[in-house]
Amino acid sequence: MSEVVNVSMQEGIAVVTVDSPPVNTLSREVRAGLKSAFESLRDKPEVKAVVLACAGKTFLSGGDMREFETGVQAPGYHEVLRLIEDSPVPVVAALYGTVMGGGVETAIACHYRVAQEGTKLGLPEITLGIIPGAGGTQRMPRLIGLEPALDMMLSGKPLTVADAQKVGLVDTAVDRDVTAAAIACAHQLVAAGKGPRRTRERAVAGGEKAGETIAARRAQLGKAFKNRNSPNVLLDAVQAAVDKPFDEGIAFERSLSSQVERAVEGRAFRHLFFSERELRKIPGLPADVKSRKVAKVGIVGAGTMGGGISMCFANAGIPVTIVDAAQANLDRGLATIRKNYERSVSRGSLKPEQLEQRMALIAPTLDYAALADADLIVEAVFENMALKKEIFAKLDAVARPGAILGTNTSTLDIDEIAAVTKRPQDIIGLHFFSPANVMQLLEIVQCAKTAPDVVMTALDVAKTIRKVGVVAKVCYGFIGNRMMDPYGREAERCVLEGATPADVDGALEDFGMAMGILAVYDMAGIDIGHLTRVARAHLLPKDPTFYRPTALLTERGWLGQKTGRGYYRYDGADRKRTPDPEAIAMFAEEAQRLGVPQRKPSKQEIQERCIYAMINEGALLLEEGIAVRASDIDIVYASGYGFPRYRGGPMFYADTVGLKVIYDKIMEFQKTLDSQYWQPAPLLEKLARAGSSFAQWQAERKV
């Protein structure tokens, strides 16, 4: 047998065990081992049944993602799974852990399935822009029926064992050693004289209404899967499971799978998948650097951000002490945290006892001295440099030696904050995104004097609290907010030129952004960004049109959702946005006063101006060394700013459009729009002229 697959005999039952740490991926070595094992067992009369088991933390976790780039080497998935399904004796899969994609496709090629409680089973390929390509679209509808199979594959969400048992994906659920239970099941099958039960030989339950069912699903795709093709391809493959014999359906699935793997959508999702795995590679960080221990956390500020950050740590089982200057703030903050947890309980995602356990981990106080034993302290007050300096001076006095002091600032100079302490090596930016207990992204800002082990600790903390941690250097706005500035600038300029807020946001949402930028401003509070710009007025362009719509709204007191109107009106409890004719008229009047020609930019122009301005700023960030990699920028935008994942992030998207195309458009805008805003980044110009890409630039730098 192979090194990763071995076979043992137990009273007529052959136990085929995969042992390929860390998660038993269906690599070429594993497939070769399975092929060898099942071929060797096929002609042995003493083998009455087979159990397919795994060692380690999980059953087969899925396919080998690397093969999307390198190609699948023999033996292929279909060859191995058909060999398993063709076994002349029953094959029982012993399922546990996190069984996804190819792992589930292997399980349904087996004849029976026993699963341990707590196992998750899913076909998440749609979340990667592809479709199940190892028989999943053909076997799953035959096994559990058309509707449940569509639910599973279109959602990409894993099933619990209980749900899997209800639909027929799992035959038996156990709360003990699943391999032993599968062996016992195999003995029972042999004793009962039961043979193989091949999934491919079943009819599709619900298949008689397949045309109607799939047409209805196709009609629902527009909103959930805007601009995406893989869901339609998935439906085509499932239709084949009903219409075609199994082998023809498999051939059709293989053809479709190959198409979506090569398409931009699939490549974009894979780009983000692999880019996340590069985030911990930080230039200048020693390979042997160790993290500091973080067993207790302090939070300064009990507002929206402080409360959300506290929840992140409590969710991970880490005790939190929240400090605020006023008892009323603490009371309000704790009440909000409890309310958030109660919503989770009402949705069924949290048990009542878990709510109380997490609340018990959060201790409110007015006394900074209570932070003396904290390993990490995160300041989360509003954006005011003087206030943050005052707080850090206090923290420097009370925090123990070696404690890490983090600031949640989204724009301010953290080196300036660090300078008020005697421990600049322990200072780091930890920019959470609102709501902090929900949003995935954590921007980790490495200051000029931040110690390497502090950076590593921040990366480990991000992992502990289930965030995507991206390291940036210090500059205004770091990666995310700095790139938002030109993006928002162009959106607001389009409003002055005659586009309505709905025109601008509609264009950006049609592009795929989760929410248009003007609606984002309304949600966040229009005054927030305006006050930041007022504080930096001496650094901004002397241009009266620069972010003028936001300034107008702030002057009127129309601050967005919190006041019921901003770029839009918000009437009723649902805060649904509706156009505000008065605001639109105000913008037009101001444009006339400023002499801005009215031209109502097209949807395409709005998209190009906003997105290309963002990309150009991203190129500057790369040149300046603020972002380590172009792919880091993509992760920031896909994880924290609502950039469509199927486009791979702004820099990946730029590569798919072509940097020469973007450069030429920027030069066109330089002539037709305000030239001070349309200076191509030198890196973008250099790569465009060379016919290169951000991906090639990154690969050549080997970071």
- Can you give the three-state secondary structure of 84-113, one letter per residue? HHCCCCCEEEEECCEEECHHHHHHCCCCEE
Same-domain check for residues 209 and 101: yes
Mean pLDDT of 180-207: 96
Compute the distance between CA of residue 227 and CA of residue 39 in angstroms, rounded to an integer: 45
Q: Which of 449, 474, 499 delimits the end of a domain? A: 474
Compute the distance between CA of residue 508 and CA of residue 511 in angstroms, rounded to an integer: 5
**Owning domain of residue 95:** 5-262
Asked if residue 284 belongs to a domain, the reply is: no
Compute the distance between CA of residue 13 and CA of residue 186 in angstroms, rounded to an integer: 7
Same-domain check for residues 509 and 462: no
Compute the distance between CA of residue 150 and CA of residue 87 in angstroms, rounded to an integer: 28
Same-domain check for residues 486 and 457: no
Mean pLDDT of 109-131: 96
Q: Which helix (H) or strand (E) holds 298?
A: strand 297-300
Phi and psi torsions of 382, nearest 5°: -70, 165
CB-based contact 380:410 (threshold 8 Å): no
* Alpha helices (H) along 225-298: 230-243, 246-262, 264-276
Q: Provide the 10 A C-beta neighbour count for residue 22.
A: 9
Asked if residue 292 belongs to a domain, the reply is: no
The predicted pLDDT at position 312 comes to 98
**Among the ranges given (62-76, 334-348, 567-581), the one the predictor scored with the smallest mean pLDDT:** 62-76
Same-domain check for residues 514 and 430: no
- Name the nearest CA neighbour of 379 among 419, 363, 443, 387: 387
Mean pLDDT of 87-115: 98
Percent of the chain predicted with pLDDT > 90: 92
CB-based contact 567:580 (threshold 8 Å): yes
Confidence of residue 2 (pLDDT cuts 50, 70, 90): low
CATH number for the domain that contains residue 551: 1.10.1040.50
Asked if residue 632 belongs to a domain, the reply is: no
Phi and psi torsions of 514, nearest 5°: -60, -35
Give, in order, the Cα–Cα distances in Å from 187 to each of 48, 163, 536: 9, 26, 75
Same-domain check for residues 454 and 505: no
**Among the ranges given (119-133, 220-234, 344-358), the one the predictor scored with the smallest mean pLDDT:** 220-234
- Residue-wise pLDDT for 426-481, tens only, equals 999 999 998 999 999 999 999 999 999 999 999 999 999 999 999 999 999 999 99
Same-domain check for residues 418 and 541: no
- The answer, yes or no, to whether residue 686 has pLDDT greater than 80, is yes
Q: Which of 474, 494, 521 delimits the end of a domain? A: 474
CB-based contact 49:92 (threshold 8 Å): yes
CB-based contact 589:496 (threshold 8 Å): no
Same-domain check for residues 207 and 108: yes
Percent of the chain predicted with pLDDT > 70: 100
Same-domain check for residues 303 and 255: no
Same-domain check for residues 181 and 307: no
Same-domain check for residues 581 and 689: yes
Structural domains counted in the chain: 3
The terminus-to-terminus CA distance of the chain in angstroms comes to 39
Contacts of 659 (CB under 8 A, 6+ apart): 684, 687, 688, 692, 693, 694
CATH number for the domain that contains residue 339: 3.40.50.720
> What's the chain's average pLDDT?
95
CB-based contact 305:326 (threshold 8 Å): no
DSSP-based helix, strand, coil % in the chain, nearest 5: 55, 15, 35
- The answer, yes or no, to whether residue 44 has pLDDT greater than 80, is yes
Query: CA 15 from chain center: how many Å?
Result: 38
- The answer, yes or no, to whether residue 219 has pLDDT greater than 80, is yes
**Among the ranges given (217-226, 466-475, 673-682), the one the predictor scored with the smallest mean pLDDT:** 217-226
CATH number for the domain that contains residue 118: 3.90.226.10
Compute the distance between CA of residue 341 and CA of residue 335 in angstroms, rounded to an integer: 10
Mean pLDDT of 390-394: 97
Asked if residue 267 belongs to a domain, the reply is: no
CB-based contact 237:230 (threshold 8 Å): no
- The answer, yes or no, to whether residue 253 has pLDDT greater than 80, is yes
Ramachandran quadrant class, 413 (left: phi over 0; alpha: psi -120 to 50; beta: rest): beta
| CA dihedral (551, 556, 562, 566) positive or negative | negative
Q: Report the number of secondary-structure helices (H) and strands (E) in the chain.
A: 30, 20
Residue 107 tokens read as 């399980």
- The answer, yes or no, to whether residue 73 has pLDDT greater than 90, is no
- Residue-wise pLDDT for 275-285, tens only, equals 999 999 999 89
Asked if residue 289 belongs to a domain, the reply is: no
Asked if residue 662 belongs to a domain, the reply is: yes
DSSP string, 458-481: HHHHHHHTT-EEEEEESSTTTTHH
- Residue-wise pLDDT for 651-669, tens only, equals 999 999 999 999 999 999 9
Asked if residue 576 belongs to a domain, the reply is: yes
- The answer, yes or no, to whether residue 639 has pLDDT greater than 90, is yes
- Name the nearest CA neighbour of 131 among 93, 168, 161, 105: 105
Residues tagged active-site: 105, 125
Mean pLDDT of 596-617: 97
Q: Which of 444, 474, 504 delimits the end of a domain? A: 474
The predicted pLDDT at position 535 comes to 87
The residue among 531 and 250 whose pLDDT is bigger is 250
- Residue-wise pLDDT for 573-594, tens only, equals 777 899 999 999 999 999 999 9
- The answer, yes or no, to whether residue 1 has pLDDT greater than 60, is no
In three-state secondary structure terms, 16 is strand
The predicted pLDDT at position 252 comes to 97
The predicted pLDDT at position 65 comes to 82
CB-based contact 372:345 (threshold 8 Å): no
Same-domain check for residues 377 and 524: no
The predicted pLDDT at position 153 comes to 97
Compute the distance between CA of residue 693 and CA of residue 691 in angstroms, rounded to an integer: 7
Asked if residue 641 belongs to a domain, the reply is: no
CB-based contact 199:139 (threshold 8 Å): yes
Same-domain check for residues 244 and 302: no
